[in-house]
Amino acid sequence: MTAINDLKTQIIQAWIELQQQTPLVQCITNTVAANYAANVLLACGASPAMVDNPYEAESFTRVSNALSINIGTPTSEQMQAIRISAATAHQQSIPWVLDPVGYSSILKWRSEMTQSLLNFVPSVIRGNASEIACLAGDETKAKGVDSTQSSADTYHTATALLKFTSCVAISGESDFIISNDLPHIVKVSGGSALQPKVTATGCALGALIAAYCAVAPTAIATIAAHVHFAIAGQLAAQKSQSIGIFNVAFLDELHCLSTTKLEQYMQIDFV
């Protein structure tokens, strides 16, 4: 119990640091998610910048506090920027998050490019269960960019990715965070079944993880981002089960998180 309480204290401190530091997060993300991810970061206390031009990628990554890379709708030009920014972040020890959206044997070009990005040692790899399992070598069938399997069935497989990164996060009904820096796998509960019904919530979560990585140790940052999302989703769902109203309420709850709400609603356990 003491270990859980210590972890909760560190998560609360990470949230406080996010509010105080307002980190600049470069987001190279998909066309569906860009606006939503920017609004989520603003609501949570970070400063987003959606710079994905290969001619500006290196210089902007150098001045950023963190980098979020999302392979959702990659173009050839955007992929150039992604490689440049990932390489720059690695060289400059800037934390960066890889979200391998759609990684599968069906989408070979993006998957091969995603595989090559592992050479730049992402701080965190996050995705849904199917994407993480497939990236870890388990040939599952994904339905487009949606998951066809449970996060609870994937975290054992995901440990294979810890040779490429220090932390892996799997989203689902419950979220699981695996890290070389943690003695246990951490399960984050809460949230709402409505979150996957809103386009780009998972993509925005990757960006928020990057923001937290700018102000806290990687494993704590990753857990804190998931807790932030889980509490906001839980409280927004109490206001409405209508998707449109829920979405607005979700952004409001992301913005209105507090130490009191963190202490009251945080649900984390060791697996």
Domain that holds residue 117: 2-270
Q: Is 50 annotated as a binding residue?
A: yes
Give the CATH number of the domain where residue 19 resides.
3.40.1190.20
Q: Return the ∠ at Cα 258 (arms to 237 and 98), rounded to 5°.
A: 75
Beta sheet of 66-70, edge-to-edge order: 47-49, 24-28, 66-70, 96-99, 124-128, 167-171, 175-179, 186-188, 268-270
Residue 76 marked as a ligand binder: no
Entry pTM: 0.94
Q: Which residues contact 16 (CB under 8 A, 6 or more apart)?
A: 259
**CA nearest neighbour of 10 among 177, 147, 233:** 177
The number of domains in the chain is: 1
- pLDDT by residue, tens only, the chain of 271 residues: 689 999 999 999 999 999 999 999 999 999 999 999 999 999 999 999 999 999 999 999 999 999 999 999 999 999 999 999 999 999 999 999 999 998 988 899 999 999 999 999 999 999 999 899 999 986 654 444 444 565 566 778 899 999 999 999 999 889 999 999 999 999 999 999 999 999 999 999 999 999 999 999 999 999 999 999 999 999 999 999 999 999 999 999 999 999 999 999 999 999 9
171 marked as binding residue: yes
Structure confidence by residue, pLDDT tens digits, 207-263 = 999 999 999 999 999 999 999 999 999 999 999 999 999 999 999 999 999 999 999
Contact 219, 167 (CB under 8 A): yes
Q: Which helix (H) or strand (E) holds 99?
A: strand 96-99
62 is in an annotated binding site: no
3-state secondary structure of 198: coil
